A and B are shown apart, each in its own frame.
Chain A
Amino acid sequence: MQAEALRQTLSSIAEDAIPRTTDLWPAIAGRITEEPRGSDRRRWLRLPRVRILQAAAVAMALAAIVLVQTLMPGQLTAAQAADIARNDPQVAALLRGDIAIVTVTSTANGVATVVVEDSQGQQVTVAVDLRSRIATVVYHGPQLSDELAARALDVVRSDPRTSALLEQGATIGRLMPIQVSFEGTDPVTGEPTQGSETWAQVPLELGGKEWDAYVDLPMGRIDQLVDPQGQQVRMP
């Protein structure tokens, strides 16, 4: 089905299901009137006094711990190293999504290795010196193993489409692993199918433009080659 036909079909489905006369305003206005802007704050202020006192006590205890640690300098704990990595501006600059996971993978020779992962699965590894508190970003992004990277490069060099780009002077950028998951119903057998494989995304740059090769590593072939306009480059 061509793109224009798909667009028209989707529009037709949506127009059939959701008429142009759809009017959400009465419901929205009703909900806003019931719960005006800022009502969350007022609800919080209506909390029982004992709950507020408990929260204040916990906050004061935490403040005391922080004060003691500030007055008694020494090596950072792993948790403090994780906090430093999480809040490091270099990390914020490298990750796109919200920080989802922070893991201290090792503490050795006075250095904590912290892996910070965002909600999109991108990772930054940070080395935190436990005494000086200096954070150094070691590398960012997930990486392919050497074996898989070599296999991906072999595929890219042997495919006629990408080898033609390389012959014209294209350079290969940073290889990225892609976790390809599939689930749904097999169109032939009707059986539910589900699985996951590691593929490689190989960017090629030529003349300031970028192609992306999606390499099916188990099959040893390029599944898709996408040109700078977002179109698939087919086999010659």
Chain B
Amino acid sequence: MDSGSTERDAVARMKAGDIVGLAALVDRYQVQAVRTAYLIVRERPLAEDITQAAFIRAYERIDQFDIERPFGPWFLRSVANDAIKAVKRARRTVALGRESDEAASPAMTQADTAPGPQALLEAAEDAAAVWDALGRLPPEQRAVTVLRYFDGMSDAEIADQVDAPPATVRWRLFAARTKLRTWLGVRAE
């Protein structure tokens, strides 16, 4: 049985009210969804909460889902949008100056406590710089960057995920790339 029919079976079970169908979809998509949310909200507990809520909402609203469509993009759309909303909510309550230390960089921590070969150290420094730069992007630009470079989506797929026209997505991606280039370039100098 291919993965598509397995997924359709899982969705069909959910539509019939069988929680086992949801379990299969959680097993398949939870890691990608939490990682996507984490790259946008930058906090693991919040990323897990967002993903849990999105799965429960998918279970509640599965009747609205067309079984012929792939579940993954439909679900990730919900996760990405919730993550953007969570960041915006946080920005309203957190002072601008706190953003740079809103979440410790895991790569930086690793570099500080576990010095290894030169290549590992350089990779960790790159990761820390990217993590810092990613956190400085506005939420929408951060989300399109994650969906493009982490989830490997096209402009059209991202447009569908974030309910924005493709031209807007292209604009956000270019604005994000320009900023990342500047910030990462400044750091490298």
Contact = CB atoms under 8 A, between A and B. Distances in A.
Contact of B55 (A11, A24, A120): A24
B75 interface: no
A145 interface: no
| Central interface residue in A14, A37, A194, by most chain B CB within 10 Å | A14
Contact of B48 (A14, A24, A188, A203): A24
A69 to B, nearest CB: 34
A11 B39 CA distance: 9
Given A28-B26, A28-B52, A96-B163, A16 B110 contact: yes
A13 B107 contact: yes
A207 interface: no
B131 interface: yes
Interface string B104-121: 001100100000000000
Contact of A11 (B51, B96, B150): B150
B167 A120 contact: no
Contacts of B55: 24, 28
Given A13-B131, A230-B155, A18 B38 contact: yes
Contacts of B155: 230
A31 B52 contact: yes
A7 B55 CA distance: 26
A10 B130 contact: yes
A230 to B, nearest CB: 5
Contacts of B106: 13, 16-17
Contacts, number: 138
B66 to A, nearest CB: 19
B75 to A, nearest CB: 13
Nearest to B48: A24
A97 B173 contact: no
A93 B38 CA distance: 35
Contact of A14 (B30, B150, B175, B179): B150
A167 interface: no
Contacts of B17: 37
B188 to A, nearest CB: 9
B61 to A, nearest CB: 10
A24 B34 contact: yes
Contact of B23 (A10, A12, A25, A214): A25
B170 interface: yes
A185 B179 CA distance: 11
| Central interface residue in A22, A28, A31, by most chain B CB within 10 Å | A28
Interface string A16-52: 1110101111011101100001000000000000000
Enumerate the 9 nearest inter-chain pairs by beta-carbon distance, A residue then B residue, closest first.
A14-B35, A10-B150, A187-B186, A184-B136, A7-B149, A192-B96, A9-B130, A18-B35, A224-B174
Interface of B: 17, 19, 22-23, 26-27, 30-31, 34-36, 38-39, 44, 47-48, 51-52, 55-56, 59-60, 96-97, 99-100, 106-107, 110, 123, 126-127, 130-131, 134, 136-138, 146, 149-150, 152, 155, 163-165, 167-168, 170-171, 173-175, 178-184, 186-187
Interface of A: 1, 3, 5-7, 9-18, 20, 22-25, 27-29, 31-32, 37, 96-97, 120, 178, 180-185, 187-188, 192, 194, 201, 203, 212, 214, 224, 226, 230, 232
18 contacts: A7-B150, A14-B35, A14-B38, A16-B110, A24-B34, A24-B55, A25-B30, A27-B52, A32-B19, A37-B17, A180-B175, A184-B99, A184-B136, A184-B137, A185-B96, A187-B187, A194-B96, A224-B178
